[in-house]
Amino acid sequence: MSNEPIKRVSIIVSKGSLDGVYPGLIMGNGALMEGIEVMMFFTFFGLDAITKGPMDNIKVATVGNPAMRMPGGIPMPSMLGMIPGMSAFASSMMMKEMDKLDIPPVGEFLEMIHDGGGEVYACKAAMDMFHLEKKDLWEDVDDILTVGTFYEKSAGAQIIFT
């Protein structure tokens, strides 16, 4: 095991929920703040984080999420996640808590990463599968990559899957 400092990270974001998108954004921004080169790769439902429209409406996944908590840290039974409006309520509560911690919305976070020198890419296979085009994406997405190109660009980087 090497004790060399990490110089580059490639972060794969594959989930389109708040709890799937924010870990990648926080890790990417944190890496940039530490002087680490960052490449973000959004695939499958993670594309919602960089797609115009959905990126401003990302919600918490309440159904089947055994780690869901109510205010005060009380565990929430999974069955409650099926109640209509529960996802919107939980998302609103989470966004309020994130706002208290000065955690920015998705679009602002992406701007911070982009402006800090981070690269943001969409997965070509996922784009094709969901019938999306470059014009559907946030304007600062650097490019749409195949998995092979992602690996080429990631050579020598630590790959993190969120």
Q: What is the pLDDT along the chain (162 residues), one digit of tens a residue?
A: 567 889 999 999 999 988 899 999 999 999 999 999 999 999 999 999 999 999 988 887 766 666 666 666 777 666 666 667 777 777 777 778 778 888 899 999 999 999 999 999 999 999 999 999 999 999 999 999 999 999 999 999 999 998
Assessment of whether the complete model's pTM goes beyond 0.75: yes
Q: Return d(Cα 147, Cα 113) in angstroms, integer.
A: 22
Task: Give one word for 63, left, alpha or beta, with left for phi > 0 and alpha for psi -120 to 50.
Answer: beta
Domains and CATH numbers, the chain: 8-57+104-161 (3.40.1260.10)
Residues in a beta bridge with 137 = 51
Task: Give one word for 4, left, alpha or beta, with left for phi > 0 and alpha for psi -120 to 50.
Answer: beta
Q: What is the DSSP letter of 41?
A: E
